[in-house]
């Protein structure tokens, strides 16, 4: 029989405000096995923990129940407390009477009654708990960074500088990401390429970093410290280690009408291309959708002109298997499609563009060599209208837009407006906004400068319609401060499109068993206290894949993710979770049901000898669980038809005892 | 195939062409429009105000009549369709409204199960634009036609659920099916001025002119609409481009106009 202690926490007024904690402690005193029951204002505090330790010693407790907040919050705290007092940490159970009780109920009587039931349930379980000892597993001291934008680059550099090997997997032919497409950065207006490209070179030259460009992660197996990852190296039809990046092929290729995605389709590239001059690796890639040689075997010009003999039309996708201890997701973002926002006439006029397209138009390496020219006729625009929040903060139009604020648009729009007025003082620039949001160092000062020094017309209100008429775009909007309708004859309209996570994030999250929110942003383990870790052990988050953010924030988060990875890789061994599956060999009939449902591949089979009747020996096939791989999800215990499979710490009889306690 | 048909008052008076050609074309495409018995005026858009019950009973009775035959309820007029569909949605989403409405119509309670579809949806989803293409005998080849949606056909988008409110394609696809060339212009889903024309001719004229001028600028020779009120406003205030009903154009293409 267990000797159980019950500790009811007030959590200040968080619990005590809706739950009569004294009554709960009193009621639970009479449950089977309970020999001690107490309540205290803050059980997690030093004094509260001391109370638990003393009680364990004084009453010779064999198990404890803490009625407090969610186990996600303080289970570890109380397990350590128990261990410090000499009790096995797995003899601790948490009854969540905060998140699942006091916070969601208003009625004191009901809340108290439910808290008692939850406490009773935990007690029923502890009565059947047994001490557990975690195993240990080794750590592969290498990290994988998925995504080679500024987030991935910074994370990789920081991990590599600490002395660990890092691989970057980037799906595009070059690293650099969105930052490579940006012209200047707010609020300092330094050139994005000038601060990014040296970092790209650092990555390329770092002896600890390997870049898998034009590659994708296709499979992830294993667990924290021991991931097995399959990487698909897409055929680029150019030998990466032979190509010198001279670019001759990209000038001679006769296929001239390939939309240049780096310039967002505003100009053309050849079927063999290097995305931009500072690409890393600086290697050509053939676009198989456009290459005549690959499509119908006619051409071969690039192979003829290549002095290095780097072209290989027979190249196939290759699959590489690598081992890592930690994985960082840095998959970034994209502007949303403007297809469903035709009130702004994006599909009707070439002169309605997105802000990212505007970046390329202003960029010296862009399609107009940095001259601000209208895409339709190449004329210099005189009146520009910027529309903010296109698809952002769009609760009423959630089926086409996003409910959240994309965070970066206010600042880059101020930058665009300012740069336009600075370079072309003959322009009139209007910005339509819902709110101007500029929380950040030097941000509001920057926006004020756009208004006060550069004379940008900021109009509070939204645009309802853009109508292409003649050479003009008639912009109809409301000025909420002057309370009137405006009609502006514009030459160029720039839409600050909402940003969303890259489409590759969702399948990646599935592979990593990492959780996402409804917008497909990766979820952090704790929104305040663990912002760069995924709830899945060994998976870390860097950059805009976790939520919209600008460069300074992305780089900070990238560094933070790297420090978490370094912390993990510095360990030689990891303590595992002892709450894993276990098969009773006497009951197992070797049917393979458990193996089929196991998402981690933790179950194997072995032929074992058993004693039969009359001194005979029987050989039977039985399931065996690899405790280092098992994550304790419990799928197998449900699938097992003979009841041989059970979960340590969450055994079927423990769960049934909990259900009985609730229903009592 | 037979469907229930709610023509509406205007189709019996000012907009007879919309009605006649809708029936002939449908017949040619193998669909019989069965006019429901004893239908009453839908009440126009005024009935969509939230606190009205009595004025919505006409819609409920029409929905019930179609439901009893197990048929979808088809209408052509944008306003009738809008009222029928919005009333149906309110019946299905607001239990209190449904209860009160059924109190009025006892013992002929409505169960909310009738499907309301617009004539254009009948063409797209039931007949199919591909099939229409096959049946066209007088294709409107090379004719540049501007589809005019107006506001009632598509909005509110979540209830009407016919097409994307800002970037619709159904009428353009229809124009292609009968051999014409659709013209995309910004004002195709803007208001024509509607009933404002009773109060202020100038305002309605300004709205309608904007639509027709924008369509003409993009090269349209002809505007098509499904709404009698849109046609009235455009005819009256924007005289220099012909405005015809979708059904008239369809009947012409199918060779059943005369």
Query: What are the tens digits of pLDDT across the range B61-90?
Result: 999 999 999 999 999 999 999 999 999 999
A414-424 pLDDT, tens digit each: 999 999 999 99
Nearest to A340 among B167, B184, B187 (CB): B167
In this complex, do A339 and B186 lie within 8 Å of one another by their Cβ atoms? Answer: no
Nearest to B184 among A348, A465, A470 (CB): A348
- B166 and A468 in contact by Cβ < 8 A? no
Closest residue on chain B to A471 (Cα): B217
8 A C-beta contact, residue A179 and residue A148 = no
What is the rounded CA–CA span in Å between residue A226 and residue A135? 14
Query: How buried is residue A318: exposed, middle or buried, by Cβ count under 10 Å (0-12/13-18/19+)?
Result: exposed
Same domain, A434 and A492: yes
**Domain assignment of residue A388, yes or no:** yes
- Cα–Cα distance for residue pair A440/A277, rounded to 1 Å: 32
Residue A397 clears pLDDT 90, i.e. is over it: no
A536 falls in which pLDDT band (50, 70, 90)?
confident
B206 vs A: CB within 8 A: no
* Domain shared by A297 and A258, yes or no: yes
Average pLDDT of the segment spanning A634-641: 94
Statement to judge: residues A76 and A118 lie in one domain = yes
Instruction: List the domain range (segments joined by +) for residue A587.
Output: 581-648
Q: Strands across the sheet with A318-324, in order?
A: A215-223, A226-233, A318-324
Q: Which residues of B touch A469 (CB under 8 A)?
A: 186, 214, 217
Q: What is the ipTM of this complex?
A: 0.81
> How far is Cα A293 from Cα A312, in angstroms, rounded to an integer?
11
For CATH 1.20.1050.140, the residue range(s) in chain B are 2-119
CATH number of the domain that residue A605 is part of = 3.30.70.3270
Query: In whole numbers, what is the pLDDT of chain A averaged over residues?
Result: 95
Range A410-433 average pLDDT: 97
Query: How would you list the strands of the sheet with B181-183, edge to edge?
Result: B181-183, B144-147, B222-225, B243-245
Q: Looking at the predicted structure, is the pLDDT value of residue A552 above 80?
A: yes
Rounded CA-CA distance B96/B99 in Å is 5
Residue of B9, B28, B11 lying closest to B20 (CA atoms): B11
Q: Of A340, A469, A470, which is closest to B164 when you measure between CB atoms? A: A340
Nearest to A56 by CA among A86, A80, A17: A86
Asked whether residue A353 falls in the same domain as residue A328, the answer is no
Output the pLDDT for position A83.
Answer: 96
Question: Which part of chain B is CATH 3.40.50.1860?
Answer: 131-254
**Cα–chain-centroid distance for residue B33?**
15
CATH of the domain at A466: 3.50.50.60
Cα three-residue angle A195-A197-A199, rounded to 5 degrees? 80
The helix (H) or strand (E) run that includes residue A250 is: helix A248-252
Model confidence band, residue A205 (pLDDT cutoffs 50, 70, 90): very high
Task: Indicate the residue of A342, A468, A470 with minimum beta-carbon distance to B166.
Answer: A342
Whether A469 and chain B come into contact, CB under 8 Å, resolves to: yes
**Structural domains counted in chain A:** 5
Whether A341 sits inside 8 A of B166 (CB atoms) is yes
Q: Which residues of A touch B167 (CB under 8 A)?
A: 339-342, 347
CB contact under 8 A, B167 and A339: yes
The pairing of strands B243-245 and A352-354 is unpaired
Mean pLDDT in residue range B42-62? 83
CA distance A352 to A493: 5
| Cα Dmax for chain A | 104
User: Range with the lowest mean pLDDT among A557-571, A572-586, B58-72?
Assistant: A572-586
Within an 8 Å CB–CB cutoff, is residue A489 touching chain B? no
- A 10 A CB-CB count for B4 gives 25
Helices (H), chain B: 9-12, 16-28, 57-68, 78-93, 95-105, 119-121, 129-135, 157-160, 170-177, 196-199, 201-217, 228-237, 246-254
Inform me whether the C-beta atom of residue B187 falls under 8 Å from chain A C-beta atoms. yes
Q: Establish if A136 belongs to a structural domain.
A: no
Same domain? For A213 and A267 the reply is: no
The confidence score (pLDDT) of residue A629 equals 78
Interface of B with A in 165-184 (CB under 8 A): 166-167, 184
Nearest CA in chain A to B167: A342
Residue of B159, B167, B206, B215 to mutate when probing chain A, most A C-beta within 10 A: B167
Q: What's residue A393's pLDDT?
A: 94
Mean pLDDT of chain B: 93
Choose between A629 and B108: higher pLDDT: B108
* Residue range B202-238, pLDDT digits in tens: 999 999 999 999 999 999 999 999 999 999 999 998 8
With beta carbons under 8 A apart, name residues in chain A contacting B187. 467
For the stretch B159-187, pLDDT in tens is 999 998 888 999 999 999 999 999 999 99
Query: Which two tokens mark A92?
Result: 């601790």
pLDDT class of A230 with cuts at 50, 70, 90: very high
- Do A492 and A526 reside in the same domain of the chain? no
Q: Residue A136: what pLDDT? A: 86
Task: For residue A612, name the pLDDT band (cuts at 50, 70, 90).
Answer: confident
pLDDT at A548 over 90: yes
Kindly report, residue by residue over A467-483, the tens digit of the pLDDT. 999 999 999 999 999 99
Domain presence at residue A135: no
Residues of B in contact with A470 (CB under 8 A): 217
Which is it for strands B222-225 and B243-245: parallel, antiparallel or unpaired? parallel
Interchain proximity A348–B187, CB inside 8 Å: no
Residue A186 CA to residue B167 CA, distance in Å, equals 34
Distance of CA A111 to the CA centre of its chain: 36
Confidence of residue A1 (pLDDT cuts 50, 70, 90): confident
Compare all CA atoms of chain B with the CA of A400 and give the residue at the minimum distance.
Answer: B164
Partners of B214 on chain A (C-beta within 8 Å) are: 467, 469
Q: Report the residue from A341, A347, A467 with minimal CB separation from B187.
A: A467
For chain A, give the percent of residues with pLDDT over 90: 90
Could you tell me if A162 and A92 lie in one domain? no
* A646 Cβ contact partners less than 8 Å away, ≥ 6 residues apart: A581, A582, A583, A584, A637, A652
Name residue A227's beta-bridge partners: A222, A324
pLDDT per residue over A614-632, tens digit each? 889 989 999 999 887 788 8
Question: A339 in a domain, yes or no?
Answer: yes
Which residue among A343, A467, A470 sits closest to B166, beta carbon to beta carbon?
A343
Strands A142-146 and A165-169: parallel
Cβ separation A347–B164 shorter than 8 A = no
Q: In this structure, are A383 and A481 located in the same domain?
A: yes
Tell me whether residue A661 is in a domain: no
- Determine the distance in angstroms separating the CA of B213 from the nearest CA of chain A, rounded to an integer: 9
Q: A163 vs A17, A143, A204, CA distance in Å?
A: 51, 11, 16
Helices marked H in A547-608 — which ranges?
551-569, 593-597
Classify residue A73: in a domain, yes or no. Answer: yes
| Final residue before a domain boundary, out of A569, A603, A619 | A569
Q: What percent of chain A lies above the pLDDT cut of 70?
A: 100
CATH code linked to domain B131-254: 3.40.50.1860
- Structural class in CATH, domain B2-119: mainly alpha
Question: Three-state DSSP class for B131?
Answer: helix
**In chain A, what residues touch B164 (CB-CB under 8 Å)?**
340, 342
Is residue A360 a part of any domain in this protein? yes
Helix (H) or strand (E) holding A201: helix A192-205
Are A348 and A486 found together in one domain?
yes
Residues A356, A441 within the same domain: yes
Cα–Cα dist A604/A622, whole Å? 8
Instruction: Mark whether A484 and A508 lie in a shared domain.
Output: no
In A265-354, which residue ranges form alpha helices assigned H by DSSP?
Answer: 292-296, 301-305
Q: Hey, of A339, A395, A463, A467, which one would you mutate to test binding to chain B, going by the most B CBs within 10 A of its CB?
A: A467
Q: What's CA A238's distance to the chain center, in Å?
A: 32
For residue A488, is pLDDT > 80? yes
Q: What is the pLDDT of residue A631?
A: 82
Confidence of residue A518 (pLDDT cuts 50, 70, 90): very high
Triad A507, A509, A513: Cα angle to 5°: 120
Whether A9 maps to a domain, the answer reads: yes
Looking at residues B121-137, what average pLDDT do you find? 96
Q: Does B35 touch chain A (CB under 8 A)?
A: no
Which residues, 6 or more positions from A315, have their beta carbon under 8 angstroms from its beta carbon?
A: A235, A236, A237, A238, A239
- The span from the CA of A477 to the CA of B167, in Å, is 19
Asked if the Cβ–Cβ distance from A466 to B186 is below 8 Å, we say yes
- Sign of the Cα torsion A281, A286, A288, A289 reads positive
Q: Are residues A326 and A343 in the same domain?
A: no
The secondary structure of A83-135 as a DSSP string is HHTT--GGGEEEEE-IIIIITT---HHHHHHHHHHHHHHHHHHHTT-------
CB within 8 Å: B214 and A467: yes
Buried b (16+ CB within 10 A) or exposed e, A599-629: ebebbeeeeeeeeeeeeeeeeeebbebebbb
Q: Which long-range contacts (CB under 8 A, 24 or more apart) does B68-73 make?
A: B69/B2, B69/B4, B69/B34, B71/B2, B71/B3, B71/B4, B71/B34, B72/B3, B72/B4, B72/B114, B72/B115, B72/B116, B72/B117, B73/B3, B73/B4, B73/B5, B73/B6, B73/B36, B73/B114, B73/B115, B73/B116, B73/B117
Angstrom CA distances, A84 to A35, A44, A81, A95, stand at 20, 14, 5, 21
- Taking the C-alpha atoms of residue A517 and residue A342, their distance in angstroms, rounded to an integer, is 28
pLDDT, one tens digit per residue, over A586-598 is 999 999 999 999 8
Which among B167, B190, B214 is the nearest to A342, CB-wise?
B167
DSSP assigned state of B59: H
């Amino acid at each position: 029989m267990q000797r159980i202690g019950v500790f009811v926490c007030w959590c200040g007024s968080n619990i005590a405000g809706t739950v009569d904690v004294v009554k709960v402690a009193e009621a639970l005193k009479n449950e089977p096995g309970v020999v001690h029951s107490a309540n205290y204002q803050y059980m997690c505090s030093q004094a509260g923990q001391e109370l638990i330790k003393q009680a364990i010693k004084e009453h010779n407790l064999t198990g404890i129940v803490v009625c407090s907040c969610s186990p996600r919050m303080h289970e570890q705290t109380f397990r350590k407390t128990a261990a410090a007092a000499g009790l096995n940490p797995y003899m601790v159970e948490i009854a969540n009477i905060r998140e699942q009780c006091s916070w969601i109920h208003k009625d004191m009587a009901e809340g108290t009654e439910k808290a008692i039931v939850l406490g009773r349930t935990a007690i029923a379980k502890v009565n059947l708990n047994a001490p557990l000892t975690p195993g240990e597993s080794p750590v592969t001291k290498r990290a994988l960074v998925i995504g080679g934008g500024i987030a991935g680059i910074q994370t990789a550099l920081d991990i590599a500088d600490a002395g660990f090997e890092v691989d970057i997997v980037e799906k595009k032919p070059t690293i650099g990401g969105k930052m490579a497409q940006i012209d200047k950065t707010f609020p300092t207006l330094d050139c994005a390429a000038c601060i990014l490209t040296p970092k790209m070179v650092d990555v390329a030259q770092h002896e600890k970093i390997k870049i898998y460009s034009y590659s994708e992660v296709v499979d992830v197996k294993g667990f924290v410290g021991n991931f097995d990852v399959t990487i698909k190296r897409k055929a680029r039809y150019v030998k990466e280690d032979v190509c010198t990046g001279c670019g001759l092929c990209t000038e001679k290729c006769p296929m001239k009408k390939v939309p240049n995605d780096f310039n967002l389709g505003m100009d053309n590239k050849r079927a063999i291309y290097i995305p931009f001059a500072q690409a890393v690796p600086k290697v050509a890639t053939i676009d198989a959708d456009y290459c005549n040689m690959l499509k119908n075997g006619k051409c071969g010009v690039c192979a003829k002109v290549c002095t290095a003999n780097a072209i290989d039309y027979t190249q196939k996708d290759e699959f590489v298997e690598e081992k890592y201890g930690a994985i960082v997701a840095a998959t970034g973002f994209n502007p949303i499609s403007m297809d469903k926002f035709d009130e702004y006439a994006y599909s009707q006029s070439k002169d309605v563009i997105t802000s990212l397209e505007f970046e390329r138009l202003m960029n010296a390496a862009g399609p107009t060599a940095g001259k601000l020219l209208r895409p339709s006729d190449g004329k210099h625009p005189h009146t520009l209208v910027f529309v903010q929040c296109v698809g952002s903060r769009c609760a009423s139009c959630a089926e086409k837009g996003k409910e959240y604020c994309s965070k970066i648009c206010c600042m880059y729009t101020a930058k665009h407006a300012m740069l336009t007025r600075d370079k072309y003082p003959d322009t009139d620039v209007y910005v339509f906004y819902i709110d101007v949001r500029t929380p950040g160092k030097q941000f509001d000062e920057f926006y004020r400068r756009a208004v006060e020094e550069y004379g940008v017309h900021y109009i509070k209100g939204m645009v309802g319609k853009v109508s292409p008429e003649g050479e003009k775009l008639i912009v109809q909007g409301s000025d909420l401060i002057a309370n009137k309708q405006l009609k502006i004859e514009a030459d160029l309209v720039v839409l600050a499109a909402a940003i969303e996570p890259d489409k590759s994030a969702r399948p990646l999250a599935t592979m990593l068993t990492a959780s996402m929110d409804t917008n497909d942003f990766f979820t952090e383990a704790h929104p305040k206290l663990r912002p760069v870790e995924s709830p899945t052990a060994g998976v870390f988050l860097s950059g805009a894949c976790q939520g919209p953010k600008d460069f300074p924030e992305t780089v900070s988060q990238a560094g933070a993710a790297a420090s978490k990875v370094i912390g993990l890789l510095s360990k030689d061994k990891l303590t595992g979770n002892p709450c894993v599956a276990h098969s009773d060999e006497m009951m197992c009939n070797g049917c393979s049901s458990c193996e089929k449902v196991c998402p981690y591949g933790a179950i194997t089979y072995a032929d074992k000898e058993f004693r039969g009747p009359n001194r005979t020996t029987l050989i039977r096939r039985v399931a065996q669980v690899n405790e280092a791989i098992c994550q304790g999800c419990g799928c197998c215990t449900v699938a097992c038809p003979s009841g041989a499979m059970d979960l340590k710490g969450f055994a079927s009889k423990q769960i049934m005892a909990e259900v009985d306690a609730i229903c009592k | 195939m037979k469907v229930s048909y709610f023509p509406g008052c205007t189709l019996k008076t000012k907009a007879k062409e919309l009605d006649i050609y809708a029936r002939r074309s449908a017949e040619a495409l193998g669909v019989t429009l069965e006019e429901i018995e004893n239908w009453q005026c839908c009440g126009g858009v005024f009935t969509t105000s939230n606190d009205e019950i009595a004025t919505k009973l006409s819609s409920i009775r029409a929905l019930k009549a179609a439901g009893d035959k197990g048929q979808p309820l088809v209408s052509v007029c944008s306003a009738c369709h809008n009222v029928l569909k919005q009333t149906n949605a309110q019946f299905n989403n607001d239990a209190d409204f449904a209860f009160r409405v059924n109190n009025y119509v006892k013992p002929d309670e409505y169960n909310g199960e009738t499907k309301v579809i617009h004539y254009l949806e009948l063409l797209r989803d039931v007949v199919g634009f591909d099939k229409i293409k096959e049946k066209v005998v007088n294709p409107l080849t090379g004719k540049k036609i501007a589809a005019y949606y107006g506001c009632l056909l598509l909005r509110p988008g979540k209830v009407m659920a016919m097409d994307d409110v800002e970037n619709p394609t159904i009428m353009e696809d229809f124009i292609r099916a009968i051999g014409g060339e659709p013209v995309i212009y910004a004002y195709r889903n803007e208001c024509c001025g509607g009933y404002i024309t009773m109060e202020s001719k100038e305002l309605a004229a300004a709205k309608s002119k904007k639509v027709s001028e924008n369509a003409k600028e993009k090269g349209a020779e002809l505007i098509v609409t499904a709404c009698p009120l849109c046609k009235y406003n455009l005819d009256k205030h924007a005289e220099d481009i012909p405005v015809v009903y979708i059904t008239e154009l369809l009947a012409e293409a199918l060779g059943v106009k005369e």
